[in-house]
Structure 1
Amino acid sequence: MSEETVTGSKTAERIEAARAQGRAAFVGYLPAGYPDRETSIAAAVALADNGADVIEIGIPYSDPVMDGPVIQQATTEVLGRGFGIDEVFEIVDAVTRASDAAVLVMTYWNIIDRMGAEEFARRLAEAGGAGAITPDLIPDEAAEWIAATDRYGLDRVFLTAPTSSAERVARIVESCRGFVYGVSLMGVTGARDSVSDAAERVVSAAHEAGAPRVCVGLGVSTREHVEQIGRYADGVIVGTALVAALRDGGPEAVGRLAGELSGRTP
Structure 2
Amino acid sequence: MSNLTKIFENHKAFIPFVVADDPDFDTTVANIVALANNGADIVEVGIPFSDPVADGPVIQAGDLRAFAAGVSTKTVFQIVEQARKQTDVPIVFLTYLNIVFKYGYKAFCQKCQSLNISGLVIPDLPYESKAEIMPAANQYGIDIIPLITPTSGHRIEKIAKAATGFIYVVSSMGITGERDAFFDGLKDLVAEIKKYTDVPTAIGFGVHTPEQAQEMATIADGVIVGSAIVDIVAKEKQQAPAKIAAFTKSMRTAVDRSEVKA
Is TM (by shorter chain) over 0.5? yes
Out of 220-229 and 196-205, give the one that drifted further: 196-205
Decide whether the 8 Å contact of 1:215 with 1:237 is kept in 2.
yes
**TM superposition score normalised by structure 1:** 0.90
Match of 1:52 among 40, 58, 65: 40
Structure 2 unaligned regions, length at least 5? 258-262
The structural deviation recorded for 1:183 is 0.5
1:195 aligns with 2:182: yes
CA–CA distance in structure 2, aligned partners of residues 206 and 87 of structure 1: 36
Helix, strand or coil for the counterpart of 1:75? helix
The reply to whether residue 255 of structure 1 matches residue 227 of structure 2 is no
Q: Indicate yes or no: 2:11 matched with 1:15.
A: no
Paired residue total:
253
Residue in 2 aligned with 1:106?
Answer: 94
Q: Following TM superposition, by how much is the alpha carbon of 1:59 offset from its aligned partner in structure 2, in angstroms? A: 0.4
CA distance, structure 2, for counterparts of residue 101 and residue 194 of structure 1: 31
2:164/2:199 contact within 8 Å kept: no
CA distance, structure 2, for counterparts of residue 187 and residue 151 of structure 1: 33
Q: Shift of the alpha carbon at 1:235?
A: 0.6
Cα distance in 2 for residues equivalent to 1:198 and 1:86: 40
Aligned residues: CA RMSD? 1.7
* C-alpha displacement of 1:91: 1.9
- The one-character-per-residue Cα deviations of 1:40-77 (angstroms, maximum 9, x if unpaired) are 11011101111110110000000111111111011012
What is the one-letter code of the residue matched to 1:251?
A: P
Whether contact under 8 Å (1:183, 1:202) holds in the other structure is: no
Deviates more, 1:61-70 or 1:87-96: 87-96
Q: CA deviation at 1:118?
A: 0.7
**2:5/2:199 contact within 8 Å kept:** no
1:3 aligned partner: none
Distance (Å, rounded) in 2 between the aligned partners of 1:40 and 1:129: 16
Q: Counterparts of 1:181 and 1:143 in 2: how far apart (Å)?
A: 19
Amino acid at match of 1:51: G
Question: Any conservation in 2 of the 1:96–1:102 contact (CA below 8 Å)?
Answer: no
Task: Give the Cα–Cα distance (whole angstroms) in 2 for the partners of residues 253 and 241 of structure 1.
Answer: 11
- Looking at structure 2, the residues matched to 147 and 201 of structure 1 have their Cα atoms a distance apart, in angstroms, of 33
* Counterparts of 2:62 and 2:16, CA distance in 1: 16
| Partner Cα separation in structure 1 for residue 84 and residue 213 of structure 2 | 24
- 8 Å CA contact 1:28, 1:55 repeated in 2: yes
**Aligned partners of 1:180 and 1:159: how far apart in 2?**
6
Tell whether the 8 Å contact from 1:121 to 1:148 is kept in structure 2 after alignment.
yes
Q: 1:234 is matched with which residue: 205, 218, 221?
A: 221
Give a deviation string over 1:17-39, Cα, whole Å, max 9, x none: xxx2xx42000010011100110
Give 2:132's aligned amino acid. E
CA contact (8 A) 2:171 2:206 kept: yes
What are the superposed Cα offsets for residues 101-122 of structure 1, whole Å, 9 maximum, x if unpaired?
2100000111111111111101
Q: Find the aligned partners of 1:96 and 1:202 in 2 and give their Cα distance.
A: 36
Question: 1:192 deviation in Å?
Answer: 1.1
- Contact 2:210 2:251 (C-alpha < 8 Å) held by counterparts: yes
Instruction: Write out per-residue CA displacement over residues 142-177 of structure 1, whole angstroms, 9 at most, x where no aligned residue.
Output: 1121111110011110111111123x1122123321
Structure 1 stretches lacking a partner, 5+ long:
1-5
Residue aligning to 2:31? 43
> Is the deviation greater in 211-220 or in 188-197?
188-197
Instruction: Indicate the residue corresponding to 2:162 in structure 1.
Output: 175
Choose 36-45 or 193-202, whichever is displaced more. 193-202
Among 96, 121, 143, the alignment partner of 2:109 is 121
Within a 5 Å distance, the mapping from 1:146-157 to structure 2 comes to 146-157=134-145
Q: Secondary structure at the match of 2:213?
A: helix
Aligned to 2:19: 31
Q: TM-score, normalised by structure 2?
A: 0.92
1:74-93 aligned at under 5 Å gives the runs 74-93=62-81
SS in 2 for 1:38: helix
Question: Does structure 2 retain, via aligned residues, the 8 Å contact 1:157–1:178?
Answer: yes
